[in-house]
Amino acid sequence: MKNLKFLVVGVVFGLALTKGEAASWYRIQEMFQFQSFHMYGIFMTAVPVGALSIFIIRKFNFRTANGQPVIVPTKTYHHGVIFGGLIFGFGWALTGACPGPLYAQIGAGYLVTVATFVAAMIGTWTYVMVQKYLPD
């Protein structure tokens, strides 16, 4: 039950992805064609809102709901950030979806996206299999 609140946050997030058309294949193609500001506008508002929130959390030492100090995650560099990033970019251009929108599309009734989703799982699984042979 303690996880139910995350489901609620997910609903709002999924709603924003769908109604904001970030889960739209057309919007993603339009973005890569530099034809519209729409998707860039989403990123350019989401990131500052997130960054400002983190700044405020740090500044006023906000704690989590159960009184813990907030730990802002760090990401360490490895070459996968670039190589994996490019590979994901290719897939993004094909499917018009990143992992979040895949869930949103299935929920929106595009059941064929389940096939894309399973392919993504197989992709993740394959990466884990070949991980040790790739430049990290």
Partner 1 sequence: MEILYKPWPWYIAGPIIGLTVPILLLLGNKKLGISSTLRQLCAACYPAKLPFLNYDWKKELWNLYFAAGILIGGFLGGVMFGNPNPVVITGTTTMYLKSFGLTDLSGLMPAEIFNWDALITVKGFIVMIVGGFLVGFGTRYAGGCTSGHGIMGLSALQWPSLLATVSFFAGGILFNHFVLPIVLSL
What's the alpha-carbon Rg for the chain, to the nearest Å?
18
* Alpha-helix residue ranges (DSSP H) falling in 4-133: 4-19, 25-32, 38-59, 80-95, 99-107, 113-130
12 binds partner 1, rule: CB under 8 A: yes
Which residues, 15 to 34, sit near partner 1 by CB under 8 A?
15-33
Which residues, 95 to 124, sit near partner 1 by CB under 8 A?
95-100, 102-110, 112-113, 115-124
Give whole-number Cα distances, 21 to 26, 32, 38, 91, in Å.
9, 15, 9, 18
Which residues, 32 to 61, sit near partner 1 by CB under 8 A?
32-33, 35-51, 53-54, 56-57
Could you tell me the smallest distance in angstroms from the CB atom of residue 134 to partner 1?
A: 7
Could you tell me the smallest distance in angstroms from the CB atom of residue 42 to partner 1?
A: 4
Could you tell me the smallest distance in angstroms from the CB atom of residue 135 to partner 1?
A: 10
Options 60, 61, 72, 133; binder of partner 1; rule CB under 8 A = 72
133 binds partner 1, rule: CB under 8 A: no
Q: CB within 8 A of 3, min separation 6: which ones?
A: none
Distance separating alpha carbons of residues 10 and 17, to the nearest angstrom = 10
